[in-house]
Structure 1
């Protein structure tokens, strides 16, 4: 699914004014998600966490005041459309993630998708340090909280140690640079031949491609995030770091190490083919083993991991990640808020849940230090160790000025996205990458200017300076006190 248009979003959500009133009071029509009796309905895209949730839901159903939970999993590429249709028909689940909606939380809250949470005092205390107005808190009310750590990136080099060793490569010394990776992928292709290739990727998921290229560009030295330079706030998708990453990816296609047919594959397909032995290397997030080993546990004996790639040898990896967004949202149509809040407070804010998250090898949990004592695969623990050394907290504009969320509400999607451009380059539909990236930079800047003007016209105290952080420094965390000193 591509990013939904502003017109499509408003059609699904209803007029902004009416939806805002609905979200504020938690009213809405119908029973959420078609739930029957006293059950809660829950939709999300977190494949690797299904077992942990099943255990929690079973315990909750038997506990005093608990109720059964009807759980539905969606692939991230399909969940957004399912949520839009559910919103239109008044059938949103009680609890959900926002995967696939491709709009900031502020816009979704303003349009009435969610109602505030009423967590217990103990639960609030556990998550308080990770809450930010405009990301998790709106008008002073908590709507969601993060379950994951910000110390993560999605462009991890996972590999099949058996295929790598068969090609005469050392599984204990994975490639670290673009040239080393190209050579390794060619070696695998040359030694395996037949239907085995060097590399596979989820090219059918433009949003994921964009996230991964953002990460690779940071590792290549881009001093910003999401295409925006931290110090100046300028859009720079056309920077050399982005161009170099995409040229590297195109070189892999030219080397003929990419699995044919991968242009349309989403992650579930690409990952399954990878574990089946179709390719040695696969770029994916930290959640990869949590999904792969659930379906093919025997692959754990072949699982290897390498850090995010960099252009040249000797470069120390540094990437940056904004504070994690909220994960679980209580739909405005839900009539079972009390049970939903009890479930979230007692089971999803705790250190025990962080340990469960670590054990399922999802993204690193909010309490990232529990990973070492979890039951996770050694490759996952090694990766999280790299995350703790090389991923730093990035500045988040809304954390510096809550009125930035009003700019987000006024924002419109800019198309084609970075992921669309990367996909088009790999499929041959985009022939001038530099021109496409330059246009994306200018279109994004123009759209942000318009959103700022619209927000200011409605009383927001906000400007371009709120998107610039001149006191940002590489390889450091941007902490809360720094917003006041820029």
Structure 2
């Protein structure tokens, strides 16, 4: 499945965090006046317009701009952050109006190959020689993700890691006696651990503190819980994808799905969940977590920057919670794909390509990647930057350490780059809707609902393949089937023999 249909880290930050005043369409385009060639503050200074949607990561971007401009005093970066879901449409309109920013985060829709075919971005091969490419790990720059018709257009910024985690309020765990002999916090490893810990917190507090909670009013985030709890059970499709061992959606035939959702509902029935979880937002839930209303919640690394701003650091995190002590699978990742395959691109409309490349190259430097980790933003695409021992902030060091729980999965894009042209349409109700319906009692037969979802997802997949075939692309269901995949070992995808 391509990254546009999987909820990635960067997607959430883009949609869940907004600027204080969302830019209007007219205002944004007006602000782009310098985008494609307007001079800077003097005749010897060139101003580049740069777009992103990084709000919580703004300190890293701002610091990189400061350092870049110190090293390149003849280039000024004019940053415009679009903290809005309209980014994709705004970029498309800017390009159509010949006001595209010189360099920008690549929109998530349409797919990157379509943007390239429509001429939105220029290839960077003029500058990105073999030495430049060699700084990246093997396999992240490949046809169908950031390379099209043999030309490179972008590269990943973030490395691969479990993108959702179970967060633990340390004080609540200490108050409930959930500590080891040395005083350290007991981190749950299994489904039974979570059940026991949630029960302990709820009962020992006399019902004043709950074991678990989430916020689901603004965004349906319940799929996150499935990702944390289902992958280690040996169900690699998780909440979003098909099982690539068989090339099909197995929600209705893999009993792990029914087992986990039955347990999830049981946690509610027993009173372990904060009662208003369905009616509060994720933002409110994060604030309630800080104030100690519950002990465990599921979220991503983007929470950490916000909590640090509020001086809340007394928490821990873990992930890959499994039915058994030893997981039967890991967080499946495809380096260079799933939302990490592209970051920024240089506009085909820029009048300053060499200067735009200088800023592009700076963002992709190993040094900038090191600061990306040290400032607590995310995993770096460069493995040498991801040493937990070099991270001072303990919760983020824990996150960096979780990268060992990822495992390379089969990549249809590597096997057959033409699968980039398979456009899977969104299916509703989706997994999040099914979980919400079951949790609230609107769905009584979860097995039937999961089977129906699998059938609808499979039809969407089959239809997408058929449509790509009708357009002349050589793709088939076999491109998504890898029967030799061992979930406990990294998979090396080989291009199909032509």
1:240 to 255, 260, 275: 255
Give the corresponding residue for 1:181. Answer: 194
- In the alignment, the residues of structure 2 paired with residue 265 and residue 138 of structure 1 have an alpha-carbon distance, to the nearest angstrom, of 43
2:360 to 322, 344, 348: 344
Give the corresponding residue for 2:162. Answer: 153
Give the drift of 1:359.
Answer: 1.4
SS at match of 1:308: coil
Give the corresponding residue for 1:19. Answer: none
Unaligned runs of 5+ in 2: 6-27, 41-46
Task: Please say which of residues 207-216 and 177-186 is displaced more in the overlay.
Answer: 207-216
Asked if structure 1 preserves the Cα contact closer than 8 Å seen for 2:224 and 2:298, the reply is no
- In the alignment, the residues of structure 2 paired with residue 436 and residue 449 of structure 1 have an alpha-carbon distance, to the nearest angstrom, of 20
2:151 to 127, 141, 144: 141
2:60 to 44, 52, 64: 52
Give the drift of 1:210.
Answer: 2.9
Task: Please say which of residues 202-211 and 281-290 is displaced more in the overlay.
Answer: 202-211
Asked if structure 2 preserves the Cα contact closer than 8 Å seen for 1:153 and 1:286, the reply is no
Please provide the CA RMSD for this pair. Answer: 3.3
- Give the TM-score normalised by structure 2: 0.79
- Give the TM-score normalised by structure 1: 0.80
- In the alignment, the residues of structure 2 paired with residue 401 and residue 213 of structure 1 have an alpha-carbon distance, to the nearest angstrom, of 29
Say whether 1:167 aligns with 2:176.
yes
Give the drift of 1:392.
Answer: 0.4
Asked if structure 2 preserves the Cα contact closer than 8 Å seen for 1:371 and 1:381, the reply is no
Task: Please say which of residues 354-363 and 314-323 is displaced more in the overlay.
Answer: 314-323
Asked if structure 2 preserves the Cα contact closer than 8 Å seen for 1:41 and 1:95, the reply is yes
Give the drift of 1:485.
Answer: 8.3
Say whether 1:444 aligns with 2:457.
yes
- In the alignment, the residues of structure 2 paired with residue 80 and residue 234 of structure 1 have an alpha-carbon distance, to the nearest angstrom, of 31
Give the drift of 1:466.
Answer: 0.6
CA pair 333-205 structure 1, distance change in 2 beyond 3 A: farther
More helix by share: 1
Give the corresponding residue for 1:68. Answer: 77
- In the alignment, the residues of structure 1 paired with residue 257 and residue 349 of structure 2 have an alpha-carbon distance, to the nearest angstrom, of 42
SS at match of 1:67: strand
1:192-207, aligned counterparts within 5 Å?
A: 192=205, 196-204=209-217
Give the drift of 1:452.
Answer: 1.7
CA pair 400-33 structure 1, distance change in 2 beyond 3 A: farther
1:83 to 78, 81, 88: 88
Task: Please say which of residues 206-215 and 361-370 is displaced more in the overlay.
Answer: 206-215
Asked if structure 2 preserves the Cα contact closer than 8 Å seen for 1:361 and 1:380, the reply is yes
Number of aligned residues? 447
Asked if structure 2 preserves the Cα contact closer than 8 Å seen for 1:452 and 1:462, the reply is yes
- In the alignment, the residues of structure 2 paired with residue 279 and residue 386 of structure 1 have an alpha-carbon distance, to the nearest angstrom, of 23
SS at match of 1:413: coil
Unaligned runs of 5+ in 1: 6-28
Asked if structure 2 preserves the Cα contact closer than 8 Å seen for 1:154 and 1:211, the reply is no
Asked if structure 2 preserves the Cα contact closer than 8 Å seen for 1:357 and 1:365, the reply is yes
Residue by residue, what CA displacement relative to the aligned partner does 1:95-118 show, whole Å, maximum 9, x if unpaired?
44467x566433454466544446
CA pair 195-94 structure 1, distance change in 2 beyond 3 A: farther
Give the drift of 1:265.
Answer: 4.7
Say whether 1:328 aligns with 2:324.
no
Asked if structure 2 preserves the Cα contact closer than 8 Å seen for 1:156 and 1:285, the reply is yes
CA pair 475-339 structure 1, distance change in 2 beyond 3 A: same
Asked if structure 2 preserves the Cα contact closer than 8 Å seen for 1:206 and 1:422, the reply is no
1:381 to 370, 384, 397: 397
Give the drift of 1:400.
Answer: 0.7
Give the corresponding residue for 2:294. Answer: 279
Asked if structure 2 preserves the Cα contact closer than 8 Å seen for 1:286 and 1:363, the reply is yes
Asked if structure 1 preserves the Cα contact closer than 8 Å seen for 2:48 and 2:75, the reply is no
Residue by residue, what CA displacement relative to the aligned partner does 1:420-447 show, whole Å, maximum 9, x if unpaired?
3223333444443323322222122222
Give the drift of 1:467.
Answer: 0.8
